[in-house]
């Protein structure tokens, strides 16, 4: 069975000579949630756009469900939500989904539309025009349109950037559900805590190259633990998650009362900062994520 | 989440194109500017009716101007009024076609409107042709409707009918379609504002070259006529418009016919059937160039 997304040796050089991607390898398997991280201008959006056929690769091979990226067959298997998107202001939520059902060749009919709107929490907004929706509602509508036709690959570029915490939770639960359905998801996000929480694998790119890849646990490694006891806070560095219960038992055996156990800050963030450092990589290439004001990890959930 | 099985099936490009065309038609009907265009059109038609009514009150069918020369005032007034109406209709059609194709490629790509559609299993050529067809259809239907209404008004107020009504109507509609093509191509190169300015300036340039050609004809200036003919090849909507004007008065001869040929809204030039063939080739080439640019463009 072909991977939902397979990327080998991908390069992209824009007009003017800007090298956005310099030989990227990446695989998103069926039912796999892959987080794509990197600073602004790293090439994340370019990679995503090549995968969905909006941008042409300069070299390398990209396939979606076995078909060359950008082909009609590949696009039939792909759902995509851009970071910077707009929907026609004059369409209602239902009309927008109907339009995309027709374009995607989806046979889901009204049942699919209703289900998707319920899924993203817009069940009561089906007749609301896009122009009357908040940015968060539009983003949720964007996620619903990306899921039309049950694609085998979902490419989400900053899907939660305009959502409130409740909206982010809805999307997280949705991503987990999609994984259980066997849909491959590539999540391009600056929210490291979110990526760490839901993704099976993480790829960090910088300057158009993969600089780190693996599961969040592999990349994060050991982390600090703070245990609040009756005699004060005990802090231990470099403790694996599996070792925390034994540590608590040890303290209890010493006669201490335990009030709380807290894991240290997102160690994926630490790993990210280690391989990428801080700051952007200069001016972004066309089509790349050039206007995100967030610093990586600024909103990482702890 | 019910997990209902939904599948995407291959859909023909024609079906996809019709979906985009329907979307373009919906878009044109729901945009707020269309009611404004409707109101302005009604105002234009009312003013035209008033003007025609008072103009025809002053005319007689055959007026002797001396030396045995006879002028058909009714034909002179009717042809000139209809020529003016045709110019106004062409202008309004150009405005609408430009507006409906504003930002079809570059503008929509820059605003993020195009990407959600372009990732669907539909070729970019289909998107482009469908957007052109949708905008062209609305503009052409509008132009035909407005022009035929002016013909009816002219008939009712002055009992005057053009000589070759359907030829004139067809060529006017074709001129509007050519302007739509030019606007679609401009959308591949320029942002929305620049596109609008470019198309309207080309429209003005075309009409100016047509007038220069008429002046060249009257003055017997070969250079002016040659320049005008060249311009009519580069911007064939002008030649179609001139031919449509000619069709209004093709059968009027004598002194009346000569006087009409001197005016800006009467007589004009018979470009022959070749202009239709050239316009079709021209439009096909423009759409092909726009499609090639669109296919290669990174979105």
Nearest CB to A56; choose among B3, B117, B298:
B298
Kindly report, residue by residue over B5-44, the tens digit of the pLDDT: 555 666 677 888 888 888 888 887 777 667 888 888 999 9
Do the chains contact at A111 and B4, CB–CB below 8 Å?
Answer: yes
pLDDT in tens for each of the 299 residues of chain B? 444 455 566 667 788 888 888 888 888 777 766 788 888 899 999 999 999 998 888 776 666 666 666 667 777 888 888 989 999 999 999 999 998 888 888 888 888 888 999 999 988 999 989 888 988 998 999 999 999 999 999 999 988 888 889 999 999 999 999 999 999 999 888 888 899 999 999 999 988 888 888 788 778 888 888 888 888 889 999 889 988 888 887 666 666 666 666 666 555 566 677 888 999 999 999 999 989 988 888 88
pTM over 0.90: no
Kindly report, residue by residue over A81-118, the tens digit of the pLDDT: 988 888 988 899 999 999 999 999 888 889 999 999 99
Q: Which residue of A has its CA nearest to B296?
A: A56
The pLDDT value recorded for residue B273 is 73
Kindly report, residue by residue over A174-202, the tens digit of the pLDDT: 888 888 888 899 999 888 888 888 888 99
Interface residues from chain A to B (CB-CB < 8 Å): 14, 49, 52-56, 72-73, 75-78, 80, 82, 84-88, 90, 99-100, 102-108, 111-112, 115, 119, 142, 145, 148-151, 177, 181, 286-287
The pLDDT value recorded for residue B296 is 86
The pLDDT value recorded for residue B76 is 80
Residues A293 and A252 in one domain: no
Residues A211 and A69 in one domain: yes
Determine, yes or no, domain membership for A285.
Answer: yes
The pLDDT value recorded for residue A280 is 52
The pLDDT value recorded for residue A1 is 57
The pLDDT value recorded for residue B198 is 92
Confidence bin at A301 (pLDDT 50/70/90): very low
The pLDDT value recorded for residue A62 is 95
Residues A7 and A120 in one domain: no
Report CA dihedral (A288, A291, A293, A297) to the nearest 10 degrees.
-10
pLDDT at A299 over 60: no
* More confident call, A20 vs A239: A20
The pLDDT value recorded for residue A297 is 33
User: Which helix (DSSP H) or strand (DSSP E) does residue A187 occupy?
Assistant: strand A184-188
* More confident call, B140 vs A216: B140
Determine, yes or no, domain membership for B7.
Answer: no
Determine, yes or no, domain membership for B103.
Answer: yes
Residues A11 and A29 in one domain: yes
Determine, yes or no, domain membership for A83.
Answer: no
Determine, yes or no, domain membership for B13.
Answer: no
- Across the A:B interface, residue pairs with CB atoms under 8 Å apart total 105
Do the chains contact at B112 and A82, CB–CB below 8 Å?
Answer: yes
Do the chains contact at A112 and B4, CB–CB below 8 Å?
Answer: yes
Residues A162 and A113 in one domain: no
Residues A261 and A279 in one domain: no
> For residue A211, which phi and psi values (nearest 5 degrees)?
-105, -15
The two structure tokens encoding residue B17: 């194109």
The pLDDT value recorded for residue B298 is 87
Residues A247 and A291 in one domain: no
Nearest CB to B113; choose among A88, A102, A108:
A88
What residues pair up with A280 in beta bridges, in sequence order?
A: none
Q: For every residue of B231-271, which 3-state class applies, written as one string?
A: HHHHCHHHHHHHHHHHHHCCCCCHHHHHHHHHCCCCCCCCC
Determine, yes or no, domain membership for B78.
Answer: yes
Q: Which of A143, A160, A176 is the last residue of a domain?
A: A143
* Residue B298 near chain A (CB below 8 Å): yes
Do the chains contact at B11 and A49, CB–CB below 8 Å?
Answer: no
Do the chains contact at B115 and A54, CB–CB below 8 Å?
Answer: yes
* Residue B9 near chain A (CB below 8 Å): yes
The pLDDT value recorded for residue B250 is 67
Q: Which of A143, A161, A188 is the last residue of a domain?
A: A143
Q: Calculate what percentage of chain A has a pLDDT beyond 90.
A: 39
Q: Number of structural domains, chain A?
A: 3
* Residue B29 near chain A (CB below 8 Å): no
Give the residue from A56, A79, A80, A104 with the most B CB atoms within 10 Å of its CB, the best one to mutate. A104
User: Which helix (DSSP H) or strand (DSSP E) does residue B117 occupy?
Assistant: helix B115-118
Determine, yes or no, domain membership for B178.
Answer: yes
Kindly report, residue by residue over A45-89, the tens digit of the pLDDT: 899 999 999 999 999 999 999 899 999 899 999 999 988 888 988
Q: What does the pLDDT average to over A255-262? A: 90
Determine, yes or no, domain membership for A174.
Answer: yes
The pLDDT value recorded for residue A270 is 77
Residues A186 and A42 in one domain: yes
Residues A274 and A197 in one domain: yes
The pLDDT value recorded for residue B74 is 78
Range of the domain at A244: 222-266
The two structure tokens encoding residue A126: 């089906």
Residues A296 and A198 in one domain: yes
Residues A155 and A35 in one domain: yes
Nearest to B264 by CA among B206, B205, B212, B203: B212
Determine, yes or no, domain membership for B108.
Answer: yes
Confidence bin at A266 (pLDDT 50/70/90): low
Determine, yes or no, domain membership for B26.
Answer: no
Supply the DSSP symbol for A30. T
Which residues are CB-neighbours of A43 under 8 A, at least 6 positions away?
A: A12, A20, A21, A24, A205, A207, A208, A285, A288
Range of the domain at B291: 33-55+68-296
The pLDDT value recorded for residue B260 is 65
Determine, yes or no, domain membership for B3.
Answer: no
Residues A159 and A213 in one domain: yes
């Amino acid at each position: 069975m072909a991977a939902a997304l397979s990327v080998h040796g991908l390069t992209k050089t824009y007009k003017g000579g800007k090298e956005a991607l310099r030989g990227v390898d990446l695989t998103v398997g069926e039912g796999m949630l892959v987080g794509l991280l990197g600073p602004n201008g790293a090439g994340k959006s370019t990679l995503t756009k090549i995968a969905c056929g909006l941008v042409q690769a300069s070299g390398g091979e990209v396939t979606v469900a076995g078909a060359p990226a950008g082909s009609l067959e590949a696009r039939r298997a792909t759902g995509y939500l851009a970071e910077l998107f707009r929907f026609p202001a004059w369409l209602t939520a239902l009309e927008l989904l109907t339009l995309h059902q027709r374009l995607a060749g989806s046979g889901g009919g009204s049942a699919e539309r209703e289900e998707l709107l319920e899924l993203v929490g817009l069940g009561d907004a089906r007749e609301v025009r896009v122009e009357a929706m908040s940015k968060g509602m539009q983003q949720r509508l964007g996620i619903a349109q990306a899921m039309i036709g049950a694609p085998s690959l979902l490419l989400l570029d900053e899907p939660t950037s305009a959502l409130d915490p409740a909206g982010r939770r809805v999307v997280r639960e949705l991503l987990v559900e999609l994984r259980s359905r066997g849909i491959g998801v590539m999540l391009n996000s600056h929210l490291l805590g979110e990526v760490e929480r839901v993704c099976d694998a993480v790829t960090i790119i910088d300057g158009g190259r993969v600089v780190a890849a693996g599961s969040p646990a592999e990349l994060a490694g050991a982390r600090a633990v703070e245990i609040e006891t009756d005699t004060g806070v005990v802090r231990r560095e470099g403790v694996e998650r599996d070792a925390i219960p034994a540590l608590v038992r040890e303290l209890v055996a010493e006669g201490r009362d335990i009030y709380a156990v807290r894991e240290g800050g997102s160690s994926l963030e630490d790993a990210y900062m280690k391989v990428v450092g801080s700051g952007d990589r200069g001016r972004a290439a066309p089509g790349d994520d050039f206007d995100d004001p967030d610093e990586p990890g600024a909103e990482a959930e702890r | 989440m019910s997990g209902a099985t939904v599948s995407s099936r291959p859909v023909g490009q024609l079906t996809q194109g019709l979906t985009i065309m329907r979307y373009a038609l919906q878009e044109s009907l729901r945009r707020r500017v269309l009611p404004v265009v409707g109101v302005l059109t009604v105002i234009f038609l009312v003013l035209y009716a008033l003007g025609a009514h008072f103009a025809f009150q002053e005319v007689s069918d055959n007026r002797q101007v001396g030396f045995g020369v006879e002028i058909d005032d009714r034909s002179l007034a009717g042809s000139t009024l209809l020529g003016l109406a045709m110019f106004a209709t062409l202008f309004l059609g150009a405005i609408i076609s430009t507006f409906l194709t504003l930002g079809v490629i570059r503008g929509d790509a820059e605003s993020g409107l195009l990407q959600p559609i372009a990732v669907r299993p539909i070729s970019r050529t289909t998107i482009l042709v469908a957007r052109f067809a949708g905008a062209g259809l609305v503009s052409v239907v509008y132009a035909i409707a407005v022009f035929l209404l002016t013909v009816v008004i002219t008939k009712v107020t002055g009992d005057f009918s053009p000589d070759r009504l359907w030829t004139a109507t067809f060529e006017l509609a074709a001129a509007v379609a050519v302007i739509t093509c030019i606007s679609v191509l401009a959308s591949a190169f320029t942002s929305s504002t620049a596109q609008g300015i470019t198309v309207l300036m080309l429209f003005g340039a075309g009409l100016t070259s047509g007038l220069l050609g008429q002046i060249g004809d009257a003055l017997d200036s070969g250079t002016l006529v040659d320049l005008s003919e060249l311009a009519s090849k580069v911007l064939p909507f002008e030649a179609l418009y001139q031919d449509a004007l000619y069709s209004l008065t093709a059968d009027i001869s004598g002194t009346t016919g000569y006087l009409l040929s001197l005016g800006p809204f009467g007589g004009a030039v018979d470009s022959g059937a070749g202009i239709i063939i050239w316009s079709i080739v021209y439009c096909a080439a423009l759409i092909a160039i726009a499609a090639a640019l669109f296919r290669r463009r990174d979105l």
